[in-house]
Chains A and B, each alone.
Chain A
Amino acid sequence: DVKVTQSSRYLVKRTGEKVFLECVQDMDHENMFWYRQDPGLGLRLIYFSYDVKMKEKGDIPEGYSVSREKKERFSLILESASTNQTSMYLCASTLGYYGYTFGSGTRLTVV
């Protein structure tokens, strides 16, 4: 089975901090995604990547950036954390047009 591993289950950060969320998949998938999930708003796509060093903006990229230096690793960066970025962050990967496999999620609280 594909495993998608997110480095932290829970994180608490201060406003203005630079935050790194790491995601690693072990099945050589080309496509990787970062979502955030908020009550009443569902899953919203932040950024995605189809290949190494390639990135595309999703629906809500403001305040975020990403890095994909290796195929298996896709990092989400909050340049200057704000309280409205408190959320559940979900990483996913897929091969082609098949369903995603999600990581276990990182619940980030910005205080």
Chain B
Amino acid sequence: QKEVEQNSGPLSVPEGAIASLNCTYSDRGSQSFFWYRQYSGKSPELIMSIYSNGDKEDGRFTAQLNKASQYVSLLIRDSQPSDSATYLCAVIKASGSRLTFGEGTQLTVNP
């Protein structure tokens, strides 16, 4: 079992729709959870962090965390073509500060 798994892509949504990206993790003691966006040829950019159960909203982005189900998600409302990128889920496990990344989900928003 992979430590961090993301829903297989690629994911394609029309402009204005909600894009839903999902991630599960294996270490029940994980403390911190992050979503990164990576445009083609660029380095990952942190867009959301979440540390406790529930929802966290930032503009059009909402991160959801359910520690009991070991599940993290990212919702992008009113998707725009500029949201087209690969989204990486990352988790800090119970000890240390090293991030473990999922393989990413490629999102395409069609005009």
Contacts and interface: CB of A to CB of B under 8 A. Distances in A.
Contacts of A45: 98
B27 interface: no
A102 B90 CA distance: 13
Interface in A27-50: 31, 33, 40-43, 45, 48, 50
Nearest to A35: B101
Contact count band on B:
20 to 34
Nearest to A44: B101
A98 B99 contact: no
Interface string B73-111: 000000000000000101010000111011110000000
Q: Chain B's interface: helix, strand, loop or mixed, by majority?
A: strand
Contact count band on A:
20 to 34
B46 A97 contact: no
B97 A102 contact: no
A94 B43 contact: no
Nearest to B4: A42
Contact of B42 (A43, A94, A101, A104): A104
